[in-house]
Amino acid sequence: MNDPVVSIVIPTYNRADFLPRTLSSALSQTYRNIEIVVCDNASTDQTSDLVAEFQGRHPDRNIRYIRHATNIGPVRNWFSGIRESRGEFIKILFSDDYLYPCAIRSLLQPLMGNSYAFSYGKVHNLWEGCKGSKVTNFGRQRPGNFVRSRDYIAGF
């Protein structure tokens, strides 16, 4: 298992204003063996045109677009992307978020050759609408930024 496919699932609904930055961050990953699955929850904005534009500009990249005819709700939309994913690993990237270029490589490293259920890192939350822009860091951290599969499953 040298370079497994990582699926970046982007659930979206009327986020055409945010989606270019989100898609660009997914495409700029230093880890290149990725597919991008955009799950559109029946958007009424220009989401489909925007994704088609990215597909046209990046024909060598695996960008797939799934559009639901009706709004199926956010969680079912996430799960539709997971079901359609072909990767061995999945990263859900919300349509108003973005990744640093090394994010997928960093998240993948502790999963390789180990029995971890998932890995994660810090979140940097940028509230551009706030007066003077405010940056905050939050999130839980476990030693090593991973959770063992048996511990995760035992939690259920």
Q: Using an 8 Å Cβ cutoff, are 57 and 87 in contact?
A: no
What pLDDT, on the 0 to 100 scale, is given for residue 115? 74
What pLDDT, on the 0 to 100 scale, is given for residue 2? 79
Q: Residue ranges of the chain with pLDDT lower than 50?
A: 130-143, 156
What pLDDT, on the 0 to 100 scale, is given for residue 116? 72
What pLDDT, on the 0 to 100 scale, is given for residue 151? 57
SS3 track for the chain: CCCCCEEEEEEECCCCCCHHHHHHHHHCCCCCCEEEEEEECCCCCCHHHHHHHHHHHCCCCEEEEEECCCCCCHHHHHHHHHHHCCCCEEEECCCCCCCCCCHHHHHHHHHCCCCEEEECCCEEEEECCCCCCEEEEECCCCHHHEEEHHHHHHCC
